[in-house]
Structure 1
Amino acid sequence: MKINHQKEIKLWIILVAILLSVTSAFSQPLWETMKNEKDVLKLSVWFRAQDVDQYLANKDGLNSAISWCKKYGITKVYLEAYGRGLYANRETLLNSKERFLNEGFEVASGATTEYGPDEFDIFHCYTHKRHQEELQRISEYAASLFDEVILDDWYFTNCECADCIHARGDQSWSKYYTDLMLKMSEERVLKPARAVNPNVKMIIKYPQWNDEYHTRGYDVVRESKVFDGIWVGTEGRQFDYEKSEGYEIGYNAYFNMRWLANFGSIGGAWFDTGRARTKIPTYLEQARHTILGEGDEVILWCYGGHLEATPKIEALSEELPGLIKLANLVQGKPIKGVQLLKPGNSDSFEETWVCSFLGELGIPFVPVSDVDEEAMAVVFPVQSLKDPGFIRKFQHVADRGTPILVTDGLAKRMTANPAYLNNVNVKTLPVKGSPKALLNMTREEIKTYRDHLLAPFGMKFDAPARVELYLFGENMFVVENINDEAVDVTLELPKVSTVNKALILPESGSSAEVSLSGKTVKMTISAHTLVAVGVK
């Protein structure tokens, strides 16, 4: 019986090896396609430190990981040196790095500065010297092994221990946190990492929760300048009106990409499986919003998580050819539309995530961090008050006859200048302290504000909430319907003779009827569908 059992084990090993080789052979076309298209769109995957030690420590696990990556068109891997209290084994990291490089992959690293799942608040106290020293050790370890390191978005602090309270003094928490984390970045991350490896490129990854950056120590204005690059979180979830945060709605990913580009060079974005909270359509919308935001590299977080989400990665691999087409359509084209102001490190008061919800009203936005006094149309949310010269700039923009939309949260804080709000060019949007309630506006209510803003462009767009409009260059627009049902929409243009349906995503199982009547483009778009339309 023992001999037979051993024979069975050998037979299974042989069968697994054959299956892996067959899978690899049949998946080569997608991998080769992605390698050829890497300057347009690159797909990467993140191996957590735990993934490194669990899956890459032996030959079989490493072989499986390589085959899996090739099957799904992944051409770059990030081998996390540290994460969640674990330093990945140095030998495993080096062996895996060498093997992936030999197989034709690009290889980089990262670090997730979380001490452990049960000590969240303790580790995020950078007032304590021992935590500062641990941060330095993490940075040195990663830089000693790799030339490119991304600092994951657990690199923040929200500690309010007695030592932090004492060190803060009379400063606001935001001021204390941002000054502290800038100092940590310079003294405990960048300086020691570069001392260990002068060639290392250290990148900061910002989370998707942009309205809370400064309240947890992220200073997009100053930190973006000292790091070698920026990465962006573009995770999305099924939006539950009663439970979800605003940063989980689809448009937030696009806004995050475009807004953060005001502060530095964007390397790419990443999203995760979302587990049960992200169904396949929303999972794919994460990728579309990332590419609409001109992201040319997407990191899948993470390898272990995606092994348990085969239907999602299968759907993504099926959509990759279409995503490449989308990237080719939008990359390098300037975005046009209404400027949406959000200065860096600005307080959102009662209007947290308002920018993300505004994008779901079908208004084509250009996210900006500074007031452009020559803008064709502008939306000023309450965050605008961060600009010390805002009132003067507001008056100048209004006096030029520029259509302006202000949120009521901003309006009530401009009581010292009521005449500005009475300008015929200014309308006030009733957010009423509940930004997500904008999703409940009727299409007629939305149209009133949208028509006001689009008038200088000679455009009118008619659509319900959760239908997004993007303008690229002079001759293309994109409409994405993130509703669970089909919608009928129209876009009136100042001049048009023909329209061309350039792309539909997903390319199978969806529909988008596009027709032209005079100057009006009529569209019927299925649920969770994107359509790109060329115009002449």
Structure 2
Amino acid sequence: MKPRHFALAILALTTSASTTWAQAPAAPPASSIPARYQNFRAAIYIAVGDARKLADRATFDRQYARAASQLHFDKVYIEAYRDHDFATDDELEKVKSYFAEKGIETAGGITLAAGGKNGQFGTFDYEDPADRAECERAARLAARHFNEVILDDFFFYTSKSDADIAAKGKRSWTQYRLDTMRKVARDLVIGPAKAANPHVRMIIKYPNWYEHFQGLGYDLDQEARMFDGIHTGTESRDPTLTDQLLQQYESYEIIRYYDNIRPGANTGGWVDEASTRDIDRYAEQLWDTLFAKTGEVTLFNWRPMSNDDAAEAGIRPWAHQATSFDWQAELRRWRSSGNDLPPGWGRAAGLALESVDKVLGSLGNPIGIASYKPYQSSGEDFLHNYLGMIGLPIELSPNFPDKANTILLTQAAAADPAIVGKIEGALKRGATVIVTSGLVEALQDKGFHDLAEWTPTGRRVLIDQFVEGFGAGNGTSLNAADATQKPILFPDVRFYTNDSWAIVRGVAGAKGFPLLLMNHYSAGTLYMLTVPENPSDLYALPPAVLSQIRAVAQKTMPVWIDAPAQVSLFAYDNDTFVVQSFRAEATPVTLHIAGHALQDLQTGATLNTAPQTSAESSDGRNTDTRNIVPTVIPPHSYVAFRVIR
């Protein structure tokens, strides 16, 4: 079904819910006004068209009452410019003053976009004097009225006009755009804004498609340090319906990555309600943004937070189960509270934020498997997020983790010309280094054979049998006994038997292929994770295969999980963790912990462990002793625990 037709079908299913309330706006009962959040701030972004309408006091009062009845918010960003539409000085000052009366902090916003054309986002042509002048005018306007201004995520460059082609010269489009946008940031945005208001803080919001930034002039290295702060687009939306196909885990992982790019300067995450198949997906984006321990969540945008419409719940087979986002229970509560309008997207945001606020204060600083993505790199696009969706907590950084005990490296790490030497250094100090098959392929002519003689053959093979075993022997099948295994296409990598050993192998016919390959080097251990040709096929691996991967990657962490794919783990440095299921059914999960019990952070209950288990780790050399706790996670829900040692 086409996305538009799919959305219409959802609307038809949810229309009846919105017609049970009167349509005339009314002030909310005082008891229903949401309380302040304890562990973060909530902000709402107001696009310029809505900001200009809010200059009318009657419109402001009506819309403000509706928004404030559904969620608490501390701040608004009032946009001064978007798509050739400028707010006036008078309009900005009026709206700013109205929010100030309500005790709401105000900041400015600009979206340096030139409108859409032929289904593609339009950007300024920065070789065009008129576009350059309009960019500068927008920056000056916003800075005159606000001491903080954020750029929405259209500060990139797609134009290929004749002027651009001439200016590019012999440079690649990537290099030309990086060079140009650094100058634009300095000369047309930051400089003019500071000239108009020396006290203004200029914040650049980077969007969610970070793997491709450099090709359109976004620079997480030099440009990100030119601004006073950065903000993070955490809109992962629906993972299979939208054209970007971003996986749910990214709403967490991208915050961690940007935090490591500019520690202390990442001001928050940014979520919208667009392109979500069900209302739970909106809540999950908000939760995962905050599980990354950011201090602010920005809701885009004012219109769905303040209009009279009911939120579209979508198709939810789990609707009558008790989940972390219990929308059916909220509908009953909302009706009984005497509200004359149905709950909208503002209430969906409020419910999600109130839920997660109850556990965030107990969580420490995020920890995960150290992974390295150099600036301006790409390769095995967004693989870290697929790995996050099979239960691996990832801590992504633009800096090589030279002190980490376990390091995960994807093909993107090949952008560092010194990467082979860095891998060797980590192995010599005793680290576990996990490289992907994509990285092995990228480093074939760059010295990787000095570490291990692993050679991609260029062949691809369909595998539907999975076997675990170390040393000589028959091996143990990892296929689920009660399921038909989907054949998965893997690259073939050649290795020397007994020099290396396949901890997990795939079998096709009468031939074996390494899927988790091990080689000892100096004091450390080198592993290769063979990645399916389609990374989403990681979700089709048998749970027992996923458990083998987790046992290797997380052996130094305080917790790991046994679960099917699409269950994620978020871990913290104070022995707390969160397990979140993105699945549509209740899912059994076994928790492997370095402790004797767990405290449920939502209920306070204590869960005792099952008898202690001691299993030989997959490298055949060490043992890993953990206690286990079985649990069941409802659909689209999370659980939060503290390990009791």
TM-score band w.r.t. shorter chain: 0.7 to 0.9
Q: What is the root-mean-square deviation in Å for CA atoms of aligned residues?
A: 2.4
Distance, in Å, in 2 between the alignment partners of 1:414 and 1:430 is: 15
Q: Unaligned regions of 5+ residues in structure 2, if any?
A: 1-21, 312-342, 454-518, 612-626
Match of 1:338 in 2: 369
Distance, in Å, in 2 between the alignment partners of 1:449 and 1:498 is: 25
Distance, in Å, in 2 between the alignment partners of 1:134 and 1:244 is: 30
Q: How far apart are residue 50 of structure 1 and its match? A: 0.8
Deviation per CA, 1:357-398, whole angstroms, max 9, x where unpaired?
111110122222111222111110011112232110011112
Alpha carbons 1:49, 1:81 under 8 Å: kept: yes
Match of 1:329 in 2: 362
Distance, in Å, in 1 between the alignment partners of 2:243 and 2:588 is: 27
Deviation per CA, 1:317-372, whole angstroms, max 9, x where unpaired?
22333222233123xx2322311211121122xx1111111111101222221112
5 Å-filtered alignment, 1:453-492, equals: 453-457=553-557, 460-492=560-592
5 Å-filtered alignment, 1:337-486, equals: 337-348=368-379, 351-416=380-445, 417-421=448-452, 423-424=519-520, 425-457=525-557, 460-486=560-586
Match of 1:51 in 2: 50
5 Å-filtered alignment, 1:220-235, equals: 220-235=220-235
Is 1:320–2:353 an aligned residue pair?
A: yes
Alpha carbons 1:111, 1:142 under 8 Å: kept: yes
Distance, in Å, in 2 between the alignment partners of 1:69 and 1:42 is: 16
Alpha carbons 1:24, 1:70 under 8 Å: kept: no
Alpha carbons 2:123, 2:154 under 8 Å: kept: no
Match of 2:211 in 1: 211
Moved runs in structure 1, 4+ residues, more than 6 A?
none
Q: Which of these residues, 557, 574, 599, is aligned with residue 500 of structure 1?
A: 599
Q: How far apart are residue 515 of structure 1 and its match? A: 5.1
Alpha carbons 1:514, 1:523 under 8 Å: kept: no
Is 1:530–2:561 an aligned residue pair?
A: no
Distance, in Å, in 2 between the alignment partners of 1:479 and 1:286 is: 15
TM-score, with length taken from structure 1: 0.88
Match of 1:193 in 2: 193
SS at match of 2:554: helix
Q: Which amino acid aligns with 2:567?
A: V
Match of 1:295 in 2: 294
Q: How far apart are residue 278 of structure 1 and its match? A: 4.0
Q: How far apart are residue 459 of structure 1 and its match? A: 5.2
Distance, in Å, in 2 between the alignment partners of 1:137 and 1:459 is: 52
Q: Which amino acid aligns with 1:355?
A: H
Match of 1:4 in 2: none
Match of 2:64 in 1: 66
Query: How many residues are treated as equivalent by the alignment?
Result: 499
Distance, in Å, in 2 between the alignment partners of 1:193 and 1:485 is: 51
Alpha carbons 1:236, 1:274 under 8 Å: kept: no
Match of 1:128 in 2: 128
Distance, in Å, in 2 between the alignment partners of 1:16 and 1:381 is: 53
Instruction: Flag the 1:514–1:489 CA change in 2: closer, same or farther, 3 A.
Output: farther
Alpha carbons 1:236, 1:282 under 8 Å: kept: no
Match of 2:15 in 1: none
Match of 1:7 in 2: none
SS at match of 1:522: strand
TM-score, with length taken from structure 2: 0.73
Alpha carbons 1:408, 1:432 under 8 Å: kept: no
Alpha carbons 2:116, 2:122 under 8 Å: kept: no
Match of 1:251 in 2: 249
Alpha carbons 1:405, 1:449 under 8 Å: kept: no
SS at match of 1:421: coil
Q: How far apart are residue 497 of structure 1 and its match? A: 2.2
Distance, in Å, in 1 between the alignment partners of 2:269 and 2:557 is: 31
Match of 2:609 in 1: 516
Deviation per CA, 1:453-512, whole angstroms, max 9, x where unpaired?
122347552111111112111321111111111211112223x122111028xx9xxxx9
Instruction: Flag the 1:128–1:431 CA change in 2: closer, same or farther, 3 A.
Output: farther
Q: Which amino acid aligns with 2:59?
A: G
Q: Which amino acid aligns with 1:238?
A: D
Which has the higher Rg, Structure 1 or Structure 2?
A: 2
Match of 1:273 in 2: 273
Match of 1:8 in 2: none
Is 1:179–2:287 an aligned residue pair?
A: no
Alpha carbons 1:24, 1:67 under 8 Å: kept: no
Distance, in Å, in 2 between the alignment partners of 1:88 and 1:278 is: 34
Q: How far apart are residue 514 of structure 1 and its match? A: 5.5
Distance, in Å, in 2 between the alignment partners of 1:459 and 1:50 is: 48
Instruction: Flag the 1:336–1:524 CA change in 2: closer, same or farther, 3 A.
Output: same
Distance, in Å, in 1 between the alignment partners of 2:215 and 2:533 is: 19
Match of 1:3 in 2: none
Structure in which a larger fraction of residues adopt helix:
1
Deviation per CA, 1:115-145, whole angstroms, max 9, x where unpaired?
2234866643212222111111110111111
Of residues 94-103 and 114-123 in structure 1, the stretch that sits farther from structure 2 once superposed is 114-123
Percent of aligned pairs with the same residue?
Answer: 27
5 Å-filtered alignment, 1:19-38, equals: 20-21=26-27, 23=28, 25-28=30-33, 30=34, 33-34=35-36, 37=37
Instruction: Flag the 1:432–1:303 CA change in 2: closer, same or farther, 3 A.
Output: same
Q: Which amino acid aligns with 2:139?
A: S
SS at match of 2:546: helix
Distance, in Å, in 2 between the alignment partners of 1:150 and 1:472 is: 30
Alpha carbons 1:51, 1:303 under 8 Å: kept: yes
Is 1:146–2:146 an aligned residue pair?
A: yes
Q: How far apart are residue 24 of structure 1 and its match? A: 6.2
Deviation per CA, 1:230-263, whole angstroms, max 9, x where unpaired?
110011222228x6534x2211111110001122
Distance, in Å, in 2 between the alignment partners of 1:24 and 1:224 is: 45
Q: Unaligned regions of 5+ residues in structure 1, if any?
A: 1-14
Instruction: Flag the 1:358–1:16 CA change in 2: closer, same or farther, 3 A.
Output: closer
Distance, in Å, in 1 between the alignment partners of 2:247 and 2:369 is: 20
Instruction: Flag the 1:294–1:455 CA change in 2: closer, same or farther, 3 A.
Output: same
Q: Which amino acid aligns with 1:62?
A: F
Distance, in Å, in 2 between the alignment partners of 1:458 and 1:272 is: 34
SS at match of 2:78: strand
Instruction: Flag the 1:63–1:311 CA change in 2: closer, same or farther, 3 A.
Output: closer
Alpha carbons 1:411, 1:421 under 8 Å: kept: no
Match of 1:11 in 2: none
SS at match of 1:361: coil
Alpha carbons 1:409, 1:433 under 8 Å: kept: no
Q: How far apart are residue 533 of structure 1 and its match? A: 0.3
Q: Which amino acid aligns with 1:517?
A: A
